[in-house]
């Protein structure tokens, strides 16, 4: 696995997944414009390394997770489904039947041993210590013309619960206000916001450390919807197959990944808020300005020659789709531990994760599809799901056209739509109130007599087996000389 971002970038280059840009390109609007072009290219375009951001000595890496191949490389697997299988196996421990069985289980046992992070005394991320340093040397992007300023878009924000000492890591964007302060855009449902809530109740300053450019598995882990109280570093340790090494910060009582490129140390004060936004967001629209806490910088530590890792969000698909896809695959086996009837799920890129969630189930009893909707609306960040479409297990939810066909043919709108109300994503602009609105479930499963449907269900069309086999062979021949 990659012990740091440099190794990952080198591997991307070997696999022809990276384009170096030697021309000067401005971090104000220009880098984002090029990145958007890459993201809209087939498959997500290449990862990009801007070697000469105008006015800065630090290169900018972006779109490094922005394709199926690259997100798999980042997580050290051939396919995301391989990863899902490993997690499934991990969650279903078997008693070894003999010595051979026990030997087969060793790799997984070794992987579990490496979950816990360990603290080291010297770290690459502290090669240079700038107490009283400023953000002025960092090539932080302004992505879209109406953005309220420059934003750090891929920070790993470390906090500890002031009462329990429990750590949280989340990716929350940070708007640069000046050389020593930024916004801290943790939304109210997120781990960082909960720690801040406790700090405000105690009227205490909350220390914050921000890691920029850790190894790729750790960068992903900070975006993952880990249940509250479960350390993101455990997930990172599992994905990396190697424990995460931490080092103590210089000016705050927090530990940060030793292999990161740059660390920002600082704090947020209780009671302090400042206007944040607008920001061209992953909804494809500008988020409205809102009041958020302020991060005050106390110290920058960094490598001698760091790379600045960032991302650009906007109209989908962009790089964050692939980070979300990883969560979809990694969390499916975990969700199935409590909702085992779920067969598969899919978040289409255009649905920006929670606007459209498609789930296939092994339907076992009347009303089952509605039970699944309600389960999801009560499950971690799936609570944000605005539209949940439930289909039978023989439907391929990854095939959006098949889903549209099945929904259209299988649902009776008045009967099969379920409305409810609850928390919605802070970024949802359609709900009357911020963060509180309605949700819709569509039961597109086949309806049963026990659900009140007494007409016969139609039979799906399929070729006869013999003629299909003959057609397969013939089609090989026919299609050889044919170009669409």
Active site residues: 281
Residue nearest to Mn ion (CB): 191
List, in order, residues 6 or more apart from 462 with CB less than 8 Å away.
Answer: 468
Question: Least Å distance between CB 192 and ligand FMN?
Answer: 6
Q: Rule CB under 6 A: say whether 168 interacts with ligand FMN.
A: yes
Stretch that binds ligand FMN, among 13-21, 137-145, 165-173, 460-468 (CB under 6 A): 165-173
Burial of 215 (0-12, 13-18, 19+ CB in 10 A): buried
Cα 398 from Cα 381, distance rounded (Å): 20
Asked if 138 and 308 count as a contact pair (C-beta separation under 8 A), the reply is: yes
Residue 171 interacting entry, from ligand FMN, Mn ion, none, C-beta within 5 to 8 Å by type: ligand FMN
Q: Which of 31, 323, 326, 424 binds ligand FMN (CB under 6 A)?
A: 323
Among 187, 398, 418, 431, binds ligand FMN (CB under 6 A): 187
Smallest separation, CB 334 to Mn ion (Å): 14
- Provide the minimum distance between the beta carbon of 170 and Mn ion in the complex, in angstroms, as a whole number: 6
Choice between 161 and 451, CB closer to Mn ion: 161
Site string for Mn ion, 176-195 (x = CB under 5 A): ---------------x----
Using CB under 6 A, which of the segments 22-30, 90-98, 168-176, 359-367 binds ligand FMN?
Answer: 168-176
Q: How many CB atoms lie within 10 A of CB 450?
A: 9
Pairing status of strand 290-292 against strand 47-53 = unpaired
Residue 173 engages ligand FMN in binding (rule: CB under 6 A): yes
Size of the site for ligand FMN (CB under 6 A): 22
Nearest to 212 by CA among 61, 49, 32, 11: 61
Told to check if 223 binds ligand FMN by CB under 6 A, we report yes
Among 149, 225, 270, 290, binds ligand FMN (CB under 6 A): 225
Q: Shortest approach of Mn ion to residue 416 CB, angstroms?
A: 35
For ligand FMN, which residue of 63, 67, 311, 445 counts as binding (CB under 6 A)? Answer: 311
Among 39, 137, 159, 168, binds Mn ion (CB under 5 A): 168
Q: Shortest approach of ligand FMN to residue 30 CB, angstroms?
A: 20
Candidates 137, 159, 171, 385; binder of ligand FMN (CB under 6 A) is: 171
Q: Which does 35 bind (CB under 5 to 8 A by kind): Mn ion, ligand FMN, none?
A: none
Is 235 a binding residue for Mn ion by CB under 5 A? The answer is: no
> Distance between CA atoms of 215 and 231, rounded to whole angstroms?
17
Check residue 186 for interaction with ligand FMN (CB under 6 A): yes
- Tell which one of 70, 150, 185, 386 touches ligand FMN (CB under 6 A): 185
Least spacing, CB of residue 459 vs Mn ion, in Å? 48
d(CA 129, CA 345): 46
172 binds ligand FMN (CB under 6 A): yes
Q: CA 189 to CA 198: how far, in whole Å?
A: 14
Question: By C-beta, is 183 or 191 nearer to Mn ion?
Answer: 191
Q: CB under 8 Å, gap of 24 or more: what pairs does 283-291 form?
A: 283/352, 283/427, 283/429, 284/314, 284/315, 284/316, 284/352, 285/429, 286/144, 286/146, 286/147, 287/427, 287/429, 288/429, 289/148, 290/434
Interacting residues with ligand FMN between 365 and 384 (CB under 6 A)? 381
Q: Which of 313, 356, 373, 397 binds ligand FMN (CB under 6 A)?
A: 313
Report if residue 218 touches Mn ion, rule: CB under 5 A.
no
Handedness of CA 308, 233, 175, 182 (dihedral sign): negative
State in angstroms the smallest separation of the CB of 320 from ligand FMN.
4
User: Residue from 47, 59, 133, 192 that binds ligand FMN (CB under 6 A)?
Assistant: 192
Phi, psi of 456 (to 5 degrees): -70, 145
The yes or no reply on residue 226 touching Mn ion (CB under 5 A) is yes
277 lines the binding site for ligand FMN (CB under 6 A):
no
Identify which of residues 63 and 168 has a Cβ nearer to Mn ion in the complex: 168
In whole angstroms, the minimum distance from the beta carbon of 55 to ligand FMN comes to 24
Q: Which residues bind Mn ion (CB under 5 A)?
A: 168, 191, 226
Interface ranges with ligand FMN (CB under 6 A): 153-154, 168, 170-173, 185-187, 190-192, 223-226, 311, 313, 320, 323, 381
């Amino acid at each position: 696995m990659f012990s740091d971002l440099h190794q990952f970038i080198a591997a991307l280059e070997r696999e022809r997944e990276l384009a170096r840009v030697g021309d000067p390109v401005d971090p104000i609007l220009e880098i984002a414009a090029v990145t958007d072009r890459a993201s809209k290219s087939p498959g997500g375009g290449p990862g990009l390394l801007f070697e000469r951001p105008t006015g800065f000595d630090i290169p900018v890496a972006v779109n490094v997770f922005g394709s199926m191949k690259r997100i798999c490389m980042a997580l050290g697997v051939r396919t995301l489904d391989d990863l899902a299988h490993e997690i499934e196996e991990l969650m279903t421990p078997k008693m070894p039947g003999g010595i051979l069985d026990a030997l087969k289980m060793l790799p997984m046992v070794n992987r579990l041993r490496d979950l816990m992070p360990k603290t080291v005394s010297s770290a690459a991320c502290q090669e240079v210590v700038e107490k009283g340093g400023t953000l002025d040397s960092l090539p932080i992007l302004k992505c879209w013309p109406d953005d309220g300023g420059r934003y750090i878009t891929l920070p790993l924000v470390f906090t500890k619960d002031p009462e329990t000492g429990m750590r949280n890591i989340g990716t929350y964007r940070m708007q640069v206000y000046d050389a020593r302060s930024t916004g801290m855009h943790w939304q109210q449902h997120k781990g960082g916001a909960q720690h801040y809530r406790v700090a405000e109740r105690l009227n205490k300053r909350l220390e914050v450390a921000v890691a920029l450019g850790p190894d790729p598995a750790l960068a992903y882990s900070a975006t993952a919807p880990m249940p509250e109280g479960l350390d993101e570093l455990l997930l990172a340790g599992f994905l990396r197959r190697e424990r995460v090494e931490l080092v103590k910060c210089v000016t705050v009582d927090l530990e940060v990944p030793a292999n990161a490129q740059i660390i920002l140390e600082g704090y947020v004060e209780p009671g302090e808020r400042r206007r944040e936004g607008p920001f061209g967001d992953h909804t494809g629209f500008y988020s409205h300005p809102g009041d958020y806490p302020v991060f005050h910088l106390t110290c920058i530590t960094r490598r001698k020659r760091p790379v600045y890792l960032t991302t650009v969000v906007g109209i989908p698909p962009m790089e964050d789709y692939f980070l979300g896809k990883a969560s979809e695959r990694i969390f499916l086996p975990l969700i199935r531990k409590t909702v085992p009837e779920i067969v598969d799920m899919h978040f289409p890129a255009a649905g920006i994760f929670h606007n459209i969630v498609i789930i296939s189930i092994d339907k076992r009893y009347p009303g089952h599809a509605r039970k699944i909707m309600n389960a999801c609306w009560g499950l971690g960040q799936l609570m944000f799901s605005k539209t949940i479409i439930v289909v039978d297990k023989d439907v391929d939810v990854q095939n959006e056209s098949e889903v549209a066909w099945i929904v259209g043919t299988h649902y009776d709108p008045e009967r099969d739509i379920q409305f409810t109300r609850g928390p919605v994503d802070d970024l949802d602009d359609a709900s009357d109130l911020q963060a509180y609105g309605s949700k819709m479930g569509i039961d597109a499963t086949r309806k049963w007599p026990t659900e009140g449907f007494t007409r016969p269900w139609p039979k799906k069309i399929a070729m006869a087996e013999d003629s299909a086999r003959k057609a397969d062979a013939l089609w090989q021949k026919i299609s050889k000389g044919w170009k669409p």
